[in-house]
Amino acid sequence: MTAFTRELLIFLHLLGAIAWFGGMFFAYFCLRPAAAETLDPPKRLPLWAATFGRFLRYTAAAVVVIAVSGLAMLIETGFRTAPTGWLVMTALGLVMMLVFGYVYLALYPRLSTHCLASAWPAAAIVLNDMRRLVAINLVLALCTVAAAVFAR
Ligand code: HEM
């Protein structure tokens, strides 16, 4: 692998991580309180369904980019010689991807279905489950970046 290829991989890896982490931060700390403050459930829940529909699709692309670029760099260095932080990052990254997969494939379709049926209490329960999982992934993302940077 040339030095340029390696730089390109880390560039893509960081773009993916920034989009995913930053998107979750914005959703959790900015959009969530603002929507709760200003919108009633019949407006707020469809807004979330429409927002997640877009965010989760972009995040799926980011997850593929992060996994492919990360594994390519890790395999080139070798698992045995890789710094501990990289292995911790890989493990945490995989857990984050599983959590993401569950939100995207199991919870989001339920949120959409409940919103289409105007079943607001049921939609609110699913949205709250999604909120908890996003909070978990935010903490995991923080730990992943810390592992990447501090355990080199
Ligand atoms: C399958 C999952 C992942 C694998 C295999 C992986 C692998 C790697 C590798 C090998 C590097 C080192 C590149 C180098 O310095 O040459 C790296 C850097 C980095 N990764 Fe990951 N990564 C994964 C997931 C993530 C996730 C989910 C995040 C953030 C949420 C993340 C954030 C970072 C950051 C910030 C760096 C730069 C660290 C630095 O150079 O100081 N990674 N990753």
Give 6-52 pLDDT, tens digit per residue: 999 999 999 999 999 999 999 999 999 999 999 999 999 999 999 99
φ, ψ of residue 151 in degrees (nearest 5): -115, 45
Probe residue for ligand 1, chosen from 24, 75, 89, 99 as the CB with the greatest number of ligand atoms within 8 Å: 89
Indicate the average pLDDT of the chain.
Answer: 97
Regarding the beta carbon of 9 and ligand 1, being less than 6 Å apart is answered no
CB neighbours of 53 closer than 8 A, spacing ≥ 6? Answer: 108, 112
Regarding the beta carbon of 67 and ligand 1, being less than 6 Å apart is answered yes
pLDDT of residue 152 exceeding 80, the answer is no
Regarding the beta carbon of 71 and ligand 1, being less than 6 Å apart is answered yes
Q: How far apart are CA 88 and CA 108, in angstroms?
A: 28
Regarding the beta carbon of 55 and ligand 1, being less than 6 Å apart is answered no
Regarding the beta carbon of 12 and ligand 1, being less than 6 Å apart is answered no
Give 93-148 pLDDT, tens digit per residue: 999 999 999 999 999 999 999 999 999 999 999 999 999 999 999 999 999 999 99
Helices marked H in 1-152: 3-26, 32-38, 41-77, 84-102, 108-116, 120-150
Nearest CA to ligand 1 atom 1: 67
89 to each of 7, 127, 152, how far by Cα in Å?
18, 28, 11
pLDDT of residue 34: 98
pLDDT of residue 44: 98
Regarding the beta carbon of 93 and ligand 1, being less than 6 Å apart is answered yes
CB neighbours of 28 closer than 8 A, spacing ≥ 6? Answer: 131, 134, 135, 138
Regarding the beta carbon of 86 and ligand 1, being less than 6 Å apart is answered yes
Q: Which residue do the tokens 């390109």 mark? A: 8
Q: Which residue do the tokens 């710094």 mark? A: 83
Q: Hey, what are 102's tokens?
A: 């569950």
